Chain A
């Protein structure tokens, strides 16, 4: 009995310290965003909502928030629309290509954003397709950035619903390929990919490197806006971080609720540490 108790103390202490360590920077940012000034005392002397007021009155903030949501939405939709039929066709009709697809999808893991940006800048800064500095290059490169997560999610979902058997049954019953895909595969697979959709969304929401190098100030996303505010005013910047984090929190909350629901039927989606 005594041993059992002792066995619980060490893990609890370790985890408590870890949680404090992990949450401390966030708490500090929150306090900073609510403090008029914060110097040489544990807690600030005077609290204020001024920084948030200033932030919400800044149209640049609103615009950058909408831009970010818009581009994330666009890229994730593009990814679903393109990857769903692609993975379906490859797994059901062209299994020989599965290995190749698997390699293509894993390349973003091996090539960090900063490396991809080098090639993209070379290709699209001038010449026939000078899309560098527009949102189109960002949509394209975001499509590639979320590939590993989308692929994993869609493929698992197809396996879970046994897409191959479903299609065989549908064709036996006289359905055409397109009809079977539209009426059977899509409605069955979609619920299973909500987790990867949300995960991709939250990854893109925090993306800075590609946005900064490829588009920069010409299409100010929330991360780029934050970077600019950082230099001007620390308090407002911390208010931006808090707003940004609230969005992430809502997204992870949804993600967790969904993956909890889906826990029994799909494998957990693992995520690469994001310094995107």
Chain B
């Protein structure tokens, strides 16, 4: 009898959590799902919004742009990250701590402040832009920060520290003995890297790629500050469909939000699978 009463009390203590989770996580998520299957008037059940999302050039372009920018920036960051992570594991403890500290610190440097810093550096009146012009370096004259190459450049900046931080523990899984053993068996540095180290690193790199990809797909503030609503990206399209100043189409916004959300879930699921493999191989 006493035990039962205590149990109700315990459940009562969970009520605040349940209310908050319901109100600010479950219900909003459900609402996105439900709204995405309504027509423009907000009634009935229809696939209309998804048809629009995947057939109208404008929205298809937004999805394509987001995927391309995310993939390109993640790929560049992974390549750079592989080198940086390797370097991190090869220096003294003190240098390593310092490097990790700076990487961690600059990972806070994202969104609006980051976009702004790049405008100072490479915007149309940016310091480097003017300097390059002054020096007559015409290779950079075609570069436009407020375009697709500019966006990739800025995305790469916030992806690189993340890639390095996620990748460097993997190098510790590759034992020094394996390199020695391969050297004893006559393998050169190239053979060691291509036949032993890289195959071991590959699943972790792919896993990290999915995290970076999801990170870039969901990114909004950086692009918003840099190109405003001008550049056609999925996250920007969604926000202007639901909170735009002129006209809002919440149902279509919800369908696009579903596309974005499912992409993220798929990326994270693949990452989970790959990481299980990494743990099996290097654990």
| 0/1 string, A32-71, CB within 8 A of B gives 1 | 1000001110100000000000000000000000000000
Chain A residues engaging chain B, CB cutoff 8 angstroms = 7-8, 10-12, 14-15, 18-19, 21-26, 28-29, 32, 38-40, 42, 78, 82-83, 85-86, 89-90, 93-94, 104, 107-123, 140-141, 143-144, 177, 202, 206, 208-209, 212-213, 223, 226-227, 230, 234, 237-238, 241, 244-245, 248-249, 252, 256, 270-276
Chain A positions within 8 Å of B254 at CB level = 118-119, 122
Chain B positions within 8 Å of A273 at CB level = 107, 110, 158-159, 161-162, 212, 215
Partner of A19 from the list B102, B134, B235, B253 (CB cut-off 8 Å) is B102
- Say yes or no: A15 contacts B95, CB within 8 Å: yes
B205 close to chain A: CB less than 8 A: no
B266 to chain A, nearest CB (A): 10
- Say yes or no: A275 contacts B111, CB within 8 Å: yes
B37 to chain A, nearest CB (A): 13
Partner of A28 from the list B127, B133, B211 (CB cut-off 8 Å) is B127
Chain B positions within 8 Å of A117 at CB level = 239, 242-243
- Say yes or no: B106 contacts A209, CB within 8 Å: no
Residue from the set B13, B88, B250, B254 with the largest chain A CB neighbour count within 10 Å: B13
Known: A40-B134, A107-B25, A110-B264; 8 extra A-B contacts, CB below 8 A, are A10-B90, A11-B90, A25-B121, A29-B116, A114-B218, A114-B220, A143-B24, A271-B104
- Say yes or no: A82 contacts B17, CB within 8 Å: yes
- Say yes or no: A28 contacts B111, CB within 8 Å: no
| 0/1 string, B103-138, CB within 8 A of A gives 1 | 111111111111011111100010100110110000
- When A249-B105, A252-B105 are in contact, do A116 and B31 touch as well, CB less than 8 Å? no
Partner of A119 from the list B29, B84, B162, B265 (CB cut-off 8 Å) is B29
- Say yes or no: B160 contacts A275, CB within 8 Å: no
A103 to chain B, nearest CB (A): 11
- Say yes or no: B117 contacts A241, CB within 8 Å: yes
Chain B positions within 8 Å of A118 at CB level = 28, 31-32, 35, 238, 242, 250, 253-254, 257
Residue from the set A32, A118, A227 with the largest chain B CB neighbour count within 10 Å: A118
- Say yes or no: A25 contacts B265, CB within 8 Å: no
Chain A positions within 8 Å of B257 at CB level = 114-115, 118-119
A216 to chain B, nearest CB (A): 8
Task: Give bound CA distance, A136 to B211, whole Å.
Answer: 31
Chain B residues engaging chain A, CB cutoff 8 angstroms = 6, 9-10, 13-14, 16-17, 20-21, 23-32, 35, 80, 83-84, 86-88, 90-91, 95, 99, 101-114, 116-121, 125, 127, 130-131, 133-134, 157-162, 164-166, 211-212, 215, 217-222, 224-225, 235, 238-239, 242-243, 250, 253-254, 257, 260-261, 264-265, 268
Task: Give bound CA distance, A148 to B226, whole Å.
Answer: 29
Task: Give bound CA distance, A84 to B106, whole Å.
Answer: 30
Task: Give bound CA distance, A187 to B119, whole Å.
Answer: 48
Task: Give bound CA distance, A22 to B14, whole Å.
Answer: 44
Task: Give bound CA distance, A30 to B193, whole Å.
Answer: 41
- Say yes or no: B20 contacts A115, CB within 8 Å: no
